Amino acid sequence: MEKKHMTLDERIQKDLEDLYNKGEIDGAKDLGDLIKTDKSKYRNLQNLADTPEKQKTLQRYMMDQTSFATRALPVYGWGKRDAKTVMVMLNPGNGVENANRELLYELKKRNMSKMFKKLSCGNACPQVGLNDYDLTDDIKHYNEFNANYGDWDRWRMDNFDLKQAFFLHHWKNCGVGLDETNLKYILDNKSSTKKEVKAEVHKRQLEEKEKVLLGKRQLELVPYASRSFSAINKEKISEIFPYVETLFHEIFTYDREFVIFCSRKFKEVFQAYSGNKEYPGTIKVIYEEKDNFEGSKLSVSCSVIDINYGGKSIKAIIANTFPNQALPNAYKLMAAYGEFCYNCLLKHLP
């Protein structure tokens, strides 16, 4: 049976050993019932699947939407491990099929040679010399890649990453080193049609995206890919509590300035976790603020929470509106929302 209190390093080691020895991760399999499914939606789709090929496609789609990737590399987080600012997401939002299919590519990219050799040969190749599961070097490469992901990924534009930079724009002393001039230039010129201006905007976007990936710590509550994790089965919610433990242990291991949970679903998880006597941590919502944002129709909110864990405490923010689909490309709105959350937190800091 899995230990309830596992550190992030222990989880990484166990997951990689599972992949090496079994070809899939026990932890991801065990969480299969955590995702709440809309059965009526799938029944309606099934009625349209009138051929074997369509049935097969539907089965793949359903699996991709209602489970976690069990044969993919886990993603526990990116960036500087002891960073002053931590942003916590629910989980990697990749489709299960895609994540599982990309395993060998991801192993090779990270130079995880022992795992690559073992898993690429499957059952067909000789097992001589491949069953030794000392994965020390591969774990080291895995952690180094994740810490330096912003540098590895510096040529690829990603709105999700860049919006984090704008969210942190007004967070003083957050330790990310964002450039005020760059962010202003992007806002002022992102709609320009001039070729040279568009090129400059792109260059500055990449610079700020790289900084936010390298300068902060991003953590995932559940590190296994799934597109549907936002819908949680409340009857199974206790299955996620060991991952909350791992998350808190990692957060409190280092001195943090700011901790930001980027989904209102964290409130649901934390309420259930705090009411469970088997776990020592407590989370209490001490303040919530709502606003009709920037004169628009977008309503935003955030909650200030007090986390007590392992004899330590910290005031943190649940940025309820962070995943709102109206925000990914609206950099100005994201910067304003980040400032809104920062000011809410400031009211409760010493």
Q: Does residue 47 form part of some domain?
A: no
Tell me, yes or no, whether 18 lies in a domain. Answer: yes
Closest CA to 27 of 240, 261, 325: 240
- 37 domain-assigned: no
**pLDDT tens per residue across span 258-311:** 999 999 999 999 999 998 888 888 999 999 999 887 666 778 999 999 999 989
pLDDT of residue 223: 97
Which of 214, 219, 190 is CA-nearest to residue 203? 190
pLDDT confidence of 125, banded at 50, 70, 90?
Answer: low
**In a domain? residue 50:** no
Using alpha carbons, select from 178, 174, 182, 270 the residue that is nearest to residue 217. Answer: 174
Report the candidate in 208, 180, 205 with the shortest Cα–Cα distance to residue 192. 205
Query: What does the alpha-carbon distance between residue 87 and residue 213 come to, in Å, rounded to a whole number?
Result: 10
Q: Which pairs count as long-range contacts for 118-124, CB under 8 Å and 24+ apart, including other chains? A: 118/20, 119/19, 119/20, 119/23
304 within 8 A of 315, measured Cβ to Cβ: yes
For the chain, what is the mean pLDDT? 88
* Range of lowest pLDDT (26-35, 166-175, 182-191): 26-35
3-class DSSP assignment, residue 181: helix
pLDDT of residue 296: 66
* Residue 345: pLDDT over 70: yes
Residue in 230, 220, 219 with CA at minimum distance from that of residue 34? 230
More confident residue, 47 or 165: 165
Residue 208 domain flag: yes
Total structural domains within the chain: 1
Does 317 fall in a domain? yes
Q: Which residues pair with 256 in a beta bridge?
A: none
Is residue 135 over pLDDT 90? Answer: yes
Q: Is residue 38 part of a domain?
A: no
Q: How many residues does the chain have?
A: 350
Identify the pLDDT of residue 325. Answer: 62
- Counting beta carbons within 10 angstroms of the beta carbon of residue 9, is it exposed (0 to 12), middle (13 to 18) or buried (19 or more)? middle
Question: How many angstroms separate the Cα of 183 from the Cα of each of 188, 190, 211, 263, 335?
Answer: 9, 10, 12, 24, 10
Whole-angstrom distance, CA of residue 48 vs CA of residue 51:
9
On whether the CB atoms of residues 169 and 183 are closer than 8 A, the answer is yes
Identity of the residue numbered 111: N
The stretch 206-231 carries a mean pLDDT of: 93
Residue with tokens 């976690």: 68
Is the backbone of residue 212 left (phi > 0), alpha (psi -120 to 50) or beta? alpha
Mean per-residue pLDDT for 318-336? 82
Separation of alpha carbons 71 and 97, rounded Å:
9
In the prediction, which pLDDT does 281 show?
Answer: 84
Report the half-sphere exposure of 75 (CA within 13 A, side-chain side): 24
Average pLDDT for 43-47:
59
> Cα separation of 264 and 280, whole Å?
22
Domain that holds residue 214: 1-32+67-350
Beta-carbon contacts of residue 339 (< 8 Å; ≥ 6 apart) = 169, 170
Per-residue pLDDT tens over the stretch 64-122 = 556 899 999 999 999 999 999 999 999 998 888 889 999 999 999 999 999 999 998 86
Please tell me the predicted confidence (pLDDT) of residue 1: 42
Task: Report pLDDT for 47.
Answer: 62
**Two structure tokens written together for 17:** 């050993």
Top mean pLDDT of 78-92, 116-130, 315-329 is at: 78-92
In a domain, 53, yes or no: no
Which residue type is seen at 297?
K
Contact residues for 112 (Cβ-Cβ < 8 A; gap 6+): 138, 141, 142
- Express each pLDDT in 235-256 by its tens digit: 999 999 999 999 999 999 999 9
Q: What angle do CA 124, 126, 132 make, to 5 degrees?
A: 120
Q: Which residues contact 98 (CB under 8 A, 6 or more apart)?
A: 64, 225
Q: Is the pLDDT of residue 42 over 60?
A: no
